[in-house]
Chains A and B, each alone.
Chain A
Amino acid sequence: MKKYRRHRTIFYHFKSIRMAMLFSFSMLIVFALLTFLLISLNYTEETVLDNSIDYTTQLIEQVNADIDSYTDYMKNISALVTNNSDVKEYLFDKNLTREQQDELYSGILTEFETIMEAREDIYNIAVISSDGRYIINDGVDKLNEYVSLGDLDWYQEALFYPDETVLSSSHVQNLIKNNYKWVITLGKSIKNPYSGKENGIFLIDLNYSIISNMCESNSLGERGYLFILDKEGDIIYHPQQLLLYSGLKTERTEDVMSSKTDHFVTAEGEKSKLYTISTSEKTGWTVVGVAYTSELMKNKTKTQFMYILVAAILLIAAMVISVIISAGITKPILILKDSMKEVKQGHFENANIDYIADNEIGSLSKSFNIMTTEIKNLMEKNIYEQKQKRRSELKALQSQINPHFLYNTLDSIIWMAEGNKTKEVVLMTSSLARLLRQSIGNENEVLTIEQEISYIENYLTIQKMRYKDKLEFEIDVEKDIYNENIAKLILQPLVENAIYHGIKFKNTKCLLRIEGYSRENDIIIKIIDNGIGMSEEVLNHIFDEHKVNYKSNGVGVHNVQMRLQLYYGKNYGITYQSKEGEGTTATITIPKRVAQEENNEKA
């Protein structure tokens, strides 16, 4: 058992090599594909994210640059206005006449109107001095009398940085009467040339059209968006500003402001977002791009879907191919197996395999072919040798006359000679002489029935003389079977049997009758005696192999039967009928010569 166990592998459980191959192929393919899939999916995710970060970074830097140039443009306008001597004169010169004032006023107003007409993104444009002179837009709008300029943050900041142009956060402009709008105010202080102090302010209120255009024209997927924060982290622009201001939504402005890197991803599973941050040096504003990772990954989903689809197709293709390949590889094995099955059942005729390949199975097939041929030869040789053995045994038997018989006969002759029974002595001696000659002189295995009958006649003559009170014999053989052949030493043992076991023990005179005739293709020879007969039990065991009876010449019924069947096949041989007290009939059936020859040829 131990020796076999070594050969048990994982494939031990499979009913066929093909299934084992298919199974292992499938496992390998699935494993390889899954590994590939996992790696590529991960890789896709990473690259998609990296690409998105690169893309949004570029995008928001561009937006930032646009905003910078936009505010630069506005700053140029403010520089133009604040350095305008007409403006300064109008605001600060206290010695102007009414006419001069009106002239300056209308000049500045025209300039304002020109700017307002050109720029739709400007809500308000104004210059205001701290002592209350002002020009707003088209001159119709008035200052809100309830608001003090000095309270406004952006105004204080503009005065604090006189050389800078200040940008406010988003706020409601309440400086102008009857007009409350959410704006971004760009303010620059104006220096009073007479006092040398910053006594005035120039302001432009920007609406959100340009900024929102800048932000919205750049798409970050379907739901992605851009928003802008000021230095303090307050929202300047957000596509959902209204919702944020209403507190219905929140934005991660604090995360953005505290973020040390230029991007971060919020981990919220389905709602995970990628924040990309870019802060402008000029405005101090921070542009933030927000992209939904689920959307970025929409491409990923598509790509992944493609990957999976391709993998599935590959899997099916690989399966089909592996089925074909395994069939190809295992086909010769199956042929070999079927062939072996044939051999197992003893059919050597179809055992030879035509398959020829140079691989292991090829050499296995070749070896198998050689092996089956060899076995076939061996088996034939074996049968032949068995036959030869029987024959030589037979020869050995035939070549000698039972010494007991010879001794008994010679003893009988002596007794008869002493009694001067010359006639009988002559008959018996001549019969014995003929018997010996027939026995010695014939090397052939097969005799004619005539020869066999004459031999048995001599034998019976001697026996009759020995058992003169008991034995009478008759031979009735049709002449036309005289030339037919019969194996040597068939009749004699049966006749001997009949005498020694049937007749010898009967007290009355017995008749031994030999009949011979042909029936269809067979020859029937019957040895009939009216001796003591046999019990059923004896009859049943008549063909058993007995110990050699030293009294007979050692040829039992068994031996005769064996030889008959060896010569003529299983269909031929001896049959016995017997009734206790009434006698026994042994019937020998053998084929005629024509049939014999055919039989011999087959063998």
Chain B
Amino acid sequence: MRKHKHPIIIMFFLLCIIVSCIVMIALGSLKPEKPIKIIYIPKIIDDTNEFWSVLIGGAKMAAKEYNVDLTVMAPDAEEDYEMQNKLIERAIKQNPDAIALSPANYTETTEMAKKVVQNKIKLIFIDSAVDKDVEDAIIATDNFIASKKMGEFMKKFVNKDTKIAIVGHVKTASTAIEREKGLRAGLGEDESRIVKVVFCDSAFDKAYSLTEELLNKYPDITMIAGLNEYSSVGAARAVKALGFTDKIKVIGFDSSIEEVELLEEGVFQGIVIQKPFNMGYLGIEAAVKAVKGENVLKNVDSGSQLITKENMYTKENQKLLFPFLGSQTWESR
């Protein structure tokens, strides 16, 4: 009798194992994932600046989509890289899975960026880069291409008397450097018509006063290009205030309500807009992928678009130009 019982016991063991396997699998599939912790450090948090607000909005949207515990911290001024470095240091101490960063300075932020990587934290650059290749991925507008569109657009208005001035934002920022290059490339041989490049340090007032000074100094300037929201709007305000709307053509960069109005008014001939929402969203998405160890494209162009008064209300462009806020419910959630 004893030897007959053996296979029965084995059968029972097998059954028990099968049943417990099923239970384990079932429980495993019900278990929720732990959220990924990401800290995003933009150049600035400024509600009046549509670019950064929308970018952070995109980042938050992605955080919600991918179940990310997202913290955003930033200095109060775009050029304050020292403050930003302190924030990065603080972020490293919190030991997140990834840090998304929009470096404030092309050279001065490099050391801190290296430190992030040394601490085995994934590093994603959004919007800007540094002078060393340290990041896991960069999501930014291809500034060269964007400003090249600008340059090519400007070229259409060039005549023999054309003199061009450029109002940049921060001399040491990678975006400013790239955009100037692109603009010059777009202009081609007419690059020689650029008489002056000034930098407003991302302040409306400074851009305004610099433009005033420029127009006094070089009264024959017929075209001004702004390289970001602050410089474009500041320059356009000055042109409008001085009554040079018809004489001087202004081409802007980035979008805001004011820029749209100025575009409708005809102060701006055109503006090149980035896709900050996409940038923020894709930046966090890339960070999530990097943390999960998935394949991440090293270099992502979030895109840009030239908008003129004529095409600003087309189906596609109004979506780009006016960030859809709906009933704002998505933000409050």
Q: Can you report 7 A-B residue pairs in the complex whose CB atoms are below 8 A from each other?
A: A18-B4, A172-B313, A245-B319, A301-B26, A309-B19, A316-B15, A319-B12
Name B278's closest neighbour in chain A (CB-CB).
A246
**Is B15 a contact of A305 with CB atoms below 8 Å?**
no
A308 touches B22 (CB 8 A): yes
The contact of B7 among A19, A312, A334, by CB within 8 Å, is A19
- Is A422 in contact with chain B by the CB < 8 A criterion? no
Once the chains bind, are B326 and A241 in contact (CB under 8 Å)?
yes
Q: A212-B329, A242-B61, A319-B11 are in contact. Are A248 and B322 (CB under 8 A)?
A: no
CB atoms of B58 and A246 under 8 A apart: yes
> Of residues B11, B18, B260, B319, which shows the largest number of chain A Cβ atoms within 10 Å of its Cβ?
B319
Q: How far is the CA of A316 from the CA of B321 in the complex (A)?
A: 66
Q: Residues of B contacting A301 with CB < 8 Å?
A: 26, 29
Bitwise interface map of B from 55 to 88 toward A, beta carbon under 8 Å scored 1, else 0 = 0011001000100000000000000000000000
- B257, B266, B282, B330: which has the most chain A beta carbons within 10 Å? B330
Determine whether the beta carbon of A242 is less than 8 Å from that of B7.
no
Which residues of chain A (232-266) have a CB below 8 Å from chain B? 234, 237, 239, 241-243, 245-248
CA distance A316 to B19 in the complex (A): 10
Residues of B249-294 at the interface with A, using a CB-CB cut-off of 8 Å, are 257, 260-261, 264-266, 275, 277-278, 281-282
**Contact flags (1/0) for B316-333 with A, using CB distance below 8 Å?**
001111111111011000
Q: Are A234 and B26 in touch, CB under 8 angstroms?
A: no
Closest A residue to B20 by CB, please name it. Answer: A312
Interface residues of A in 401-455 (CB under 8 A from B): none
User: For B323, what are the chain A residues with a Cβ–Cβ distance below 8 Å?
Assistant: 242
Tell me if B324 and A248 are in contact (CB < 8 A). no
Answer whether residue B242 sits at the interface, using C-beta atoms and an 8 A cutoff: no
Find out whether the CB atom of B325 lies under 8 angstroms from the CB atom of A243.
no
Whether A199 is near chain B, meaning CB under 8 Å from some CB there, is: no
B325's partner among A182, A234, A247, A334 (CB-CB below 8 A) is A182
Contacting pair A242 B330 (CB below 8 A): yes
Contact A248:B278 (CB < 8 A) given known A18-B4, A180-B322, A209-B327: yes
Chain B residues near A208: list those with CB within 8 A: 326-327, 329
Interface size in chain A (residues, C-beta < 8 A): 41
A246 partner, pick from B19, B281, B327, beta carbons under 8 A: B281
Q: How many A-B residue pairs have CB under 8 A?
A: 94
Chain A 175-217 near chain B by CB (<8 Å), digits 1 or 0: 0001010100000000000000000000000011101100010
Assess whether B4 is in contact with A305, with CB atoms less than 8 Å apart.
no
Instruction: Tell me the complex Cα distance, A172–B312, Å.
Output: 10
What is the CB-to-nearest-CB distance from B270 to chain A, in angstroms, rounded to a whole number?
A: 15
Residue with the highest number of chain A CB atoms closer than 10 Å, among B7, B8, B281, B315: B8
Q: A206 → chain B, closest Cβ, in Å?
A: 10
Q: Chain A: which residue is nearest B16 at the CB level?
A: A316
The answer to whether B11 touches A26 (Cβ under 8 A) is yes
- Which residue of chain A has the shortest Cβ distance to B325 in the bound complex? A182
Chain B residues within 8 Å of A242, by CB = 57, 61, 277, 323-326, 330
B327 and A180 contact, CB distance less than 8 A: no
**Shortest Cβ distance from B29 into A: residue:** A301
Question: How many angstroms from the CA of A22 to the CA of B5 in the assembled complex?
Answer: 11
Which chain B residues have a beta carbon within 8 Å of chain A's beta carbons?
1, 4, 7-8, 11-12, 15, 18-19, 22-23, 26, 29, 57-58, 61, 65, 257, 260-261, 264-266, 275, 277-278, 281-282, 313, 315, 318-327, 329-330
* A172 and B318 contacting across the interface, CB-CB below 8 Å: yes
Residues of A within 8 A of B57 (CB): 242
Nearest neighbor of A237 in chain B, beta-carbon distance:
B326
Interface residues in A71-90 by Cβ distance below 8 A to B read: none
Q: Chain B binding site: helix, strand, loop or mixed by DSSP?
A: helix
The reply to whether A182 and B8 contact each other, CB–CB distance below 8 Å, is: no
What are the residues of chain A within 8 A of B22 when measuring CB–CB? Answer: 305, 308-309, 312
Distance (whole angstroms) from the CB of A50 to the closest CB of chain B:
24
| A241 and B29 contacting across the interface, CB-CB below 8 Å | no
State in angstroms the CA–CA spacing of A16 and B1 once bound together. Answer: 10
* B281 x A315 contact (CB < 8 A): no
Q: Are B29 and A216 in contact (CB under 8 A)?
A: no
What 1/0 mask marks residues of chain A from 303 to 344 whose CB sits below 8 Å from any chain B CB?
Answer: 001001100100110010001000000000010000000000
Contact B313 A212 (CB under 8 A): no
**Is there an interface contact between A178 and B257, defined as CB atoms closer than 8 Å?**
yes
- Give Cα distance in the complex from A305 to B22, angstroms: 8
Tell me which residues across on chain A come within 8 A of B319, comparing CB atoms.
245-246
Contact A216 B329 (CB under 8 A): yes
In contact, B264 and A19 (Cβ under 8 angstroms): no
Q: Is the C-beta of A58 less than 8 angstroms from some C-beta in chain B?
A: no
Residues in A whose Cβ lies below 8 Å from that of B65: 243
In the assembled complex, the CB of B104 is this many whole angstroms from the nearest CB of chain A, namely: 25
| Complex-state Cα separation, A207 to B324, whole angstroms | 11
Which of A19, A315, A334 meets B1, CB within 8 Å? Answer: A334
Whether A234 lies near B326 (C-beta < 8 A) is no
A372 at the interface (CB under 8 A from B): no
Set of chain A residues within 8 Å of B58, measured between Cβ atoms = 246
- Does the CB pair A312–B19 fall under 8 Å? yes
B261: shortest Cβ distance to chain A, in Å?
Answer: 7
Residues of chain A with a CB closer than 8 A to B260's CB? 180
* List of 6 A-B pairs having minimum Cβ-Cβ separation, nearest first: A208-B327, A245-B319, A209-B327, A146-B264, A312-B19, A208-B326
A312–B12 Cα gap in the complex (Å)? 11
Q: In the complex, A308 Cα to B15 Cα: how many Å?
A: 12
- Cα-based distance from A305 to B25 in the complex (angstroms): 10
A147: CB under 8 A from chain B? yes
> Closest residue to B265 on the A side, CB-wise?
A146
Q: Is the CB of A182 within 8 A of B322?
A: yes
A144 at the interface (CB under 8 A from B): yes
A210 to B, closest residue via Cβ: B327
Contacts of A312 in B (CB 8 A): 15, 18-19, 22
Chain B residues with CB below 8 A from A101, complex form: none
Given A209-B327, A212-B327, A309-B22, A319–B15 Cβ distance below 8 Å?
yes
* B16 CB, min distance to chain A CBs, angstroms: 8
**In the bound complex, do residue B329 and residue A209 qualify as a contact, i.e. CB atoms below 8 Å apart?**
yes
- A209 cross-chain contacts in B, Cβ below 8 A: 327, 329
Measured CB to CB, the nearest residue on chain A to B22 is: A308
Can you name the residue of chain A whose Cβ is closest to the Cβ of B318? Answer: A172
Contact call B315/A234, Cβ cutoff below 8 A: yes
- From 12 to 59 in chain A, residues with beta carbon under 8 angstroms from any chain B beta carbon are 16, 18-19, 22, 26
B264 near A245 with CB under 8 A, answer no
Give the distance in Å from the alpha carbon of A180 to the alpha carbon of B264 in the complex: 12
A83 to chain B, nearest CB (A): 30
Chain B min CB distance to A26 (Å): 7
User: Is A218 on the interface with B (CB-CB < 8 A)?
Assistant: no
Q: In the complex the two chains form, what is the Cα distance from A334 to B4 in whole Å? A: 12
Q: How far is the CB of B153 from chain A (nearest CB, A)?
A: 20
Which B residues touch A178, using CB under 8 A? Answer: 257, 261
A282 at the interface (CB under 8 A from B): no
Q: Is A399 an interface residue (CB 8 A)?
A: no
Note all chain A residues with C-beta closer than 8 A to B275: 246
**CB-CB nearest in chain A for B263:** A146
Structural contact, A147 and B61, CB atoms closer than 8 A: no
Known: A180-B260, A242-B324. 18 other contacts (CB 8 A): A18-B4, A26-B11, A144-B264, A146-B265, A147-B264, A172-B321, A174-B264, A208-B326, A209-B329, A212-B327, A242-B57, A243-B61, A246-B278, A248-B277, A312-B15, A316-B19, A323-B8, A334-B1
Q: Is the CB of A180 within 8 A of B61?
A: no
Assembly CA distance A301 to B324 (angstroms): 38
Residues of B within 8 A of A308 (CB): 22
Known: A19-B7, A312-B15, A312-B22. A171 touches B257 (CB 8 A): no
Q: Which residues of B contact A26 (CB under 8 A)?
A: 11
Smallest CB gap from A120: residue in B: B327
Residue of B nearest to A212 (CB): B327
Q: How far is the CA of A26 from the CA of B14 in the complex (A)?
A: 13
